[in-house]
Amino acid sequence: LAWVLVRYEFPGRKIIDAMIDLPIALPTAVAGIALTALYAPAGLVGQFASDLGFKIAYTPLGITLALTFVTLPIVVRTVQQVRADIPKEVEEAAACLGARPL
C-alpha cells in the first residue's frame, strides 16, 4: 500500500492517504467499540461472516483484524518515507542487474 501511494498518482489517492491515519486519530476505546460493533454477529461485517458460517468477534481472526487496523498506519507511514527516499534511478539500476520489482 505504501509503495503504491508513493509511486503512483491515481484518483482517490489523497482520500486513501488520509484514511490511513484514521486509526491513529481515533481514541483506542472508540476504535475498540467500533470494531466490536462492526464484527459482532449483528454488525455489518459480522452478519456477512455469520451467513458464511464463521465468527469474527472475540476470535483470533477478530484480534488479528483489530491489530492490523491499529498498526497499519504506523507501518504504511514508515515504509512510505523509506520508499520516497529511494531514487527512481536506483530502482532502475537494480532492475537492470536482475532484481525483481516489489
Domains contained in the chain, number: 1
**Can you count the helices (H) and strands (E) in the chain?**
7, 0
> Residue 78 contacts by C-beta under 8 Å, 6 or more apart in sequence?
2
Q: What residue numbers bound the domain in which 22 lies?
A: 2-96
Cell of 45: 461485517
Q: Is the pTM of this model over 0.85?
A: no
- Please check whether residue 83 lies inside any domain of the structure: yes
pLDDT recorded at residue 102: 66
pLDDT above 90: percentage of residues in the chain: 60
Give the DSSP letter of residue 27: -
- Please check whether residue 82 lies inside any domain of the structure: yes
How deeply is 95 buried, as exposed, middle or buried, from its count of CB atoms within 10 A (0-12, 13-18, 19+)? exposed
- Please check whether residue 102 lies inside any domain of the structure: no
- Tens of pLDDT, residue by residue over 73-94, are 999 999 998 888 888 889 889 8
- The domain that holds 45 is classified in CATH as 1.10.3720.10
